């Protein structure tokens, strides 16, 4: 696991380095397509990032591979069930003006606390 073809990897990308285990992360799930690890700066009691192993810039590019998008969503659901009560908010920041800072697609899984009362 973790061997990604050169075409599917950006040598300057921090999440590609996390996928390759060149940078440590607190991994909570992995399979042959997707990994999930805890966000370094959690914004909720449970805050996990679900990251396809292949380098795709954002969810617009990920949507060109519907199976991989679906896998990302189902792993988000599994993480929320395994580590929380199963309810979760799923966010893809897409583009700098929407708050994206890491340009390797990732789904934020946010759960716990008082998410229901918070505004988007
Ligand atoms: P975004 O702003 O949507 O691109 O989200 C990027 C997220 O990645 C932020 O919530 C960061 O806290 C998180 N992040 C950045 N570097 C790391 C890292 N090395 N390990 C875990 N999370 C990280």
DSSP 62-94: HTTSHHHHHHHHHHHHHHHHHHSSS--EEE---
Whether 115 is in the pocket of ligand 1, judged by its Cβ within 6 Å, is: no
Spatial distance between the Cα atoms of 49 and 102, rounded to a whole number of angstroms: 11
| pLDDT tens digits, 68-116 | 999 999 999 999 999 999 999 999 999 999 999 999 999 999 999 888 7
Q: What is the mean pLDDT of the chain?
A: 94
Range 39-52 average pLDDT: 98
Token digits of residue 33:
């397509």
Range 25-46 average pLDDT: 98
In the chain the domains, ranked by start, together with CATH numbers, are: 8-113 (3.30.428.10)
Whether 102 is in the pocket of ligand 1, judged by its Cβ within 6 Å, is: yes
Contact 67, 56 (CB under 8 A): no
**Is 106 annotated in the active site?**
yes
């Amino acid at each position: 696991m973790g061997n990604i073809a050169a075409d599917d990897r950006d040598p300057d990308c921090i999440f590609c380095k996390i996928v390759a285990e060149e940078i440590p992360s607190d991994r909570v799930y992995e399979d042959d397509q997707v990994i999930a690890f805890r966000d370094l700066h959690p914004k909720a009691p449970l805050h996990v990032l679900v990251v396809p192993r292949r380098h795709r810039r954002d969810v617009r590019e990920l949507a060109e591979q519907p199976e991989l998008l679906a896998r990302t969503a189902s792993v988000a659901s599994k993480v929320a069930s395994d580590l929380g009560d199963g309810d979760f908010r799923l966010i893809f920041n897409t583009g700098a003006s929407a708050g994206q800072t890491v340009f390797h697609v990732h789904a934020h899984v946010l759960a716990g606390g008082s998410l229901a009362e918070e505004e988007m």
